[in-house]
Structure 1
Amino acid sequence: MILHQLVDYESLRLIWWALIGLLLASYAITDGFDLGAGMLLPFAGRDDVERRVIINSIGPVWEGNQVWLILGGGAIFAAWPQLYAVAFSGFYLAMLAILAGLILRPVAFKFRSKRDDPRWRARWDWVLFFSGFVPALIFGVALGNALQGVPFRLAPDMRIFYDGSFLGLLNPFGLLCGGVSVAMLVMHGSAWLQLKTQQGPVAQRARRYGSVAALLTIVLYGLAGVLLWSYVGGYRITSAIDMGGPSNPLLKTVEAHDAGAWFSNYATHAWTLAAPVAGFAGALGALLGLRLRREIFTLLCSALSVAGIVLSVGASMFPFLLPSSIDPHASLTVWDSSSSHLTLFIMLVVTVIFVPIIVAYTSWVYHVLWGKVDEQAIRNESGHAY
């Protein structure tokens, strides 16, 4: 027997759908508090020392956290090449804006303290704010547009045509989802700052802003759900589904349905309700943790909320990965847009070997760096890189 036939094609596609969700949720949880802390920098830190406290709380770990973004992007490229092609062509300018923010972040970290000039440092502080706000906003906008459907079509030879524009992505529902993303990451960043800074002005302001962000997360996420139920239409496959069939999206038929179609998975598979419940419950727990100053509890709850909100998008859309708003038949699904059976199996073997290594190393790094940032040490310029 050929080795890759030990796992059937249908199961591999389902496994990779779940893995992509876990990788994206892992990125949102780990790099999310970095982005949130960056957005809080000009507000939670009022002077240079306080802002350096915030920077040094994320400085040693932010770069390693981006490994999950690289893994997620690489996994999409290898496992779902059509999804990668459509997303990176249709969202090209949006991706450039995200990359601009992520590229400017290390530049700001390195250059901020090169000159002892308050105006120089203030400019780089706002660059760090920008590098946190823009990716957080656009990631949310992208998910909001995926729920609505993206204006692309496929030619019979599988050539991709995208008929939308960058400004078209900035529609009301997309911006609402962007607001959910910004609010939840500010909440997550606040939880991190409460954990990593001493009980002083920075932690107090972080708790105050984080409490507002947690409330906004609950309200905006709930509002997005209401609109998804009452206004934003979903999609359904109307032909027979060949879960182990060829990767050709044009072999099926799909029709756009009225609002509320994305909630059918929750009715059919009740366990999927765990994702939105975690989104709400985690945000509520983070709010309580911030008010009660329960540091680890708050961070765990905010991480639960972030994971739940991200995973709820995939749970709602399954088996769709990216529906087409202008040609629903061309919509990409788990069952018809993946790589070959052999490719998915090889990638799974690689993942099983290397992801535990990455998790173990990351856990060791956080263990070594555990503890609070010492404000006095920063004042004395001892042992801090930023």
Structure 2
Amino acid sequence: MIFDYETLKIIWWAFVGVLIIGFALTDGFDFGVGMMLPFVGKTDAERRVLINSIGPTWEGNQTWFITAGGATFAAWPLVYATAFSGFYIALMVLLFSLFFRPVGFDYRSKVADPRWRNAWDWGLFVGGIVPPLICGVAFGNLLLGVPFHYDDTMRVEYTGNFFQLLNPFGLLAGLLSVAMLLTHGATFAMVKTEAEIAARVRKIAIYASLATLALFVIGGYWVARGIDGYSITSMPSANSAFMPLAKTVEITSGAWMDNYERWPETKAIPIAAIVALLLVAAFGAWRKARLAFICSGIAVAGIILTAATAMFPFIMPSSLDPRSSLTVWDAVSSQKTLGIMFWLVLFFLPLIILYTAWVYRVMRGKVTLKHIADNEHTAY
């Protein structure tokens, strides 16, 4: 094996991060467009413009979500098992809201009745806003610590409930996620539309980026000053296989900022996110759609990496028993499993990226009202 076990653990943390960011960057603007659909589109034709801007590619964007879930199952089986049992209701709400998307895209244009189409437009709105909200709330609760623990036989017990997830910080993180992807969707719609529709989404992009910035700064201050973080005080060698209870963990004030003090260069990540959000607002005001979209993507990646950097090496901290917290070092599969999957990812991930880039190149260009009028029987 070319890499030792410790290196493979870090590589897989990075791989899963790439998949999550890829999902947020691609499917994220689909969610954003869905959120805007009932409000930006004043007529059926305008709504069809927005739907057709994401219609040809949204399904392919789901690949990142599915792959991220599969990678979590394969690389971090303890995280997969604990998260899917602890966040079961939240995940079911997320999945059922996602059902509105394929059904809405496929059935909306089957009947010309305005009531039928309006109902599906609101269904696409639900499918656009609920998943980011749920994901943001879940991520916020990871920073707070999740109420689970392992017993001596390594059986996991989750003592929380769905409504406990809806705490003030969790809701703030959920709103940040919604505002972030609304910004991303609005900048994408700026690129893909024109005239009055582009003018409306441009205003949304400006205000949503400023709202995202405010929520991000408030959340960062809250984490630094008001939320206790986790740190490992002792554990077996990171190059060995061990179970979570073999380590000791302490909870201390400001511990989530330790990595930024240990590696000062990582402070560039939240700074980049803040600057990118300001540039989204500026480029929106200056009608520079492509630059606004690029900066929006940088902001999305920066916000996710800011939280991931703060938490490293923790993946799913436990508020009941800090020793039970799942980390990069103890929640992973065997060295052989990680090694085999490493080569598979190294082969398939570039193919996915290249194919995605090719699809967007083929589908480039604006969707206009004239295009909709000339293609009355398009799929969307």
Letter aligned with residue 356 of structure 2? T
Q: Pairwise mapping of residues 1-386 of structure 1 onto structure 2 (< 5 A)?
A: 4=1, 6-198=2-194, 200-258=195-253, 260-382=254-376, 384-386=378-380
The structural deviation recorded for 1:270 is: 1.6
Structure 1's consecutive aligned runs of 4 or more residues displaced over 3 angstroms after TM superposition are none
Letter aligned with residue 269 of structure 2? A
Q: Secondary structure at the match of 2:361?
A: helix
TM-score by length of 2: 0.98
Post-superposition CA distance 1:214-260 (Å, at most 9, x none): 010000000001111111111111114521122300001111112x2
Q: Secondary structure at the match of 2:241?
A: coil
- Distance, in Å, in 1 between the alignment partners of 2:342 and 2:266 is 24
CA contact (8 A) 1:247 1:339 kept: no
Letter aligned with residue 88 of structure 2? Y
Q: Secondary structure at the match of 1:161?
A: strand
Q: Secondary structure at the match of 2:230?
A: strand
- Distance, in Å, in 1 between the alignment partners of 2:105 and 2:268 is 38
TM-score by length of 1: 0.97
Letter aligned with residue 96 of structure 2? A
The structural deviation recorded for 1:278 is: 2.3
Q: Secondary structure at the match of 1:274?
A: helix
Post-superposition CA distance 1:97-120 (Å, at most 9, x none): 111121111101111111111111
Going from structure 1 to structure 2, the CA distance change for 1:383 and 1:357 (only over 3 Å counts) comes to: farther
The structural deviation recorded for 1:167 is: 0.6
- Distance, in Å, in 2 between the alignment partners of 1:196 and 1:254 is 49
- Distance, in Å, in 1 between the alignment partners of 2:86 and 2:123 is 27
The structural deviation recorded for 1:276 is: 1.3
The structural deviation recorded for 1:183 is: 0.3
CA contact (8 A) 2:236 2:246 kept: no
The structural deviation recorded for 1:274 is: 2.8
The structural deviation recorded for 1:380 is: 2.7
Q: CA RMSD in A?
A: 1.1
The structural deviation recorded for 1:381 is: 2.6
- Distance, in Å, in 1 between the alignment partners of 2:290 and 2:186 is 12
The structural deviation recorded for 1:63 is: 0.5
- Distance, in Å, in 2 between the alignment partners of 1:70 and 1:273 is 31
Structure 1 stretches lacking a partner, 5+ long: none
- Distance, in Å, in 2 between the alignment partners of 1:383 and 1:33 is 25
Q: Secondary structure at the match of 2:357?
A: helix
